[in-house]
Copies of this chain bind each other. A is one copy, B any other.
């Protein structure tokens, strides 16, 4: 029986198994579900073994566990492929907004409804089933495969960095595919080539020792809120939207004509975008399209600013202190540490008279991530998606960061490829999460094709 026949024959069983998997309320954010996350880990390890994967085992961490399994008999001339996903889920609250209970999933209208159905239990189950089907056909896999599934993605993977560092040899691989990813739409595929990095600072400006009366001291001493506004304004050109911090763009990899053509090919409805955000107009760095700015240009945003009197009406205070939180979204090859140093230097150079300023780093650094053009795994994924969806995938980027991808790059030296089959409209972190069973099946076929292609 071909792997495709095997998949077709067993689809009912697979759906029942996914229902079982979703029934486990493995909510990583809630301490009362700690045992459920463990149960889900056990379920995954057992299911890997049932699919024919060897060495399936739970990897303890200082928090929720991970699961590892491998099949390494394809030969040394075949690549080693690491497949990643996560079995923890978001909290289900508010419960009363669910049509059917989040942890008592059901199938309606060709969709499987329940918390985690799409993110990422349905997604991570797909490559396991692909491996099972390939093994059922040939008794072996076309490449060496390693599976790593974690139980803490939805809380930011706090305990994963040391585990991945410690298991560096065991996880060593030629390619990484993440089964925790989105396609462009239900019928259109994408390949995500870039993720932005992240860097945060807080700027505090001090003037007088305590708040002063604006009548008695206005004109005598500087106002930290004005000085901070002037500092912040000096960081970005109000008309061109260009960041004016010396050296900020130095390490940015410019968009090539090819990059720009790929981005331009992706549909973008600016009116729809504005309707979605409610902003009166789009705005950003001059010389780039909205999409280019969202995906491929670094940004500097003030996330919060506070100082002085915040209540109703007026209070004629000359405040003693003002502070602003800033995060920059970075693109390859910007370095969070270097950008923080540039901001600190800018603040020092542009500090208005009569105040002092301090720049503190905020937690949450992430390196930017850009898959090099012509990357082997990406090319294979592109071809498979084109076959599976009947059209070339869009080449896209993401304005956010995905810490695990950066972690893999740093620890294993491999750019991961997002190869998941969820869609952004599937209420991933909201009530009535669902997964399209059509894409559940399509994903299984795609993973079989991908592994075959990589092996042949």
What residues of chain A have their CB less than 8 Å away from a CB belonging to chain B?
A: 196, 198, 200, 202, 206-210, 212-223, 225-230, 232-234, 236, 238-239, 241, 273-274, 277-285, 290, 293-294, 297, 299, 301-311, 313-320, 322, 324-325, 327, 329, 350, 352-356, 362-364, 398-401
Q: Give the one of A226, A311, A325, A327 with max B CB within 10 A.
A: A226
B230 close to A238 (CB less than 8 A): yes
| Residue contact B219 to A285, C-beta cutoff 8 Å | yes
Q: Find A329's partner among B200, B218, B305, B320 (CB 8 Å cutoff).
A: B218
Q: Is the CB of A280 within 8 A of B399?
A: no
Q: Chain A contact residues: over half helix, strand or loop, or mixed?
A: mixed
In the complex, chain B residues whose CB is within 8 Å of the CB of A293? 219-220
Which residues of B lie under 8 Å from residue A327 when comparing CB positions? Answer: 214, 314, 316
Which of B217, B239, B274, B362 is within 8 Å of A277, CB to CB? B217
Query: Does the CB pair A213–B400 fall under 8 Å?
Result: yes
A309 and B319 contact, Cβ closer than 8 Å, known pairs A212-B277, A229-B228, A363-B314: no
Chain B residues with CB under 8 Å of A294's CB are: 216-220
- Counted per complex, copies of this chain come to 2
Selected from B207, B230, B282, B314, the residue in CB contact (under 8 A) with A364 is B314
Residues on B with beta carbons closer than 8 Å to the beta carbon of A213: 400
- Find out whether the CB atom of A315 lies under 8 angstroms from the CB atom of B305: no
A218 adjacent to B310 (CB under 8 Å): no
B301 touches A220 (CB 8 A): no
Q: How far is the CA of A299 from the CA of B212 in the complex (A)?
A: 14
Instruction: Select one of B196, B230, B304, B319 contacting A319, CB under 8 A.
Output: B304
Interface centre among A277, A294, A399 (most CB of B within 10 A): A277
What would be 23 A-B contacts, judged by CB atoms less than 8 Å apart? A209-B279, A212-B277, A214-B299, A214-B303, A220-B279, A220-B282, A221-B277, A221-B279, A222-B279, A225-B324, A233-B234, A234-B238, A238-B352, A278-B320, A279-B354, A280-B355, A283-B352, A302-B308, A303-B309, A303-B318, A303-B319, A304-B310, A313-B362
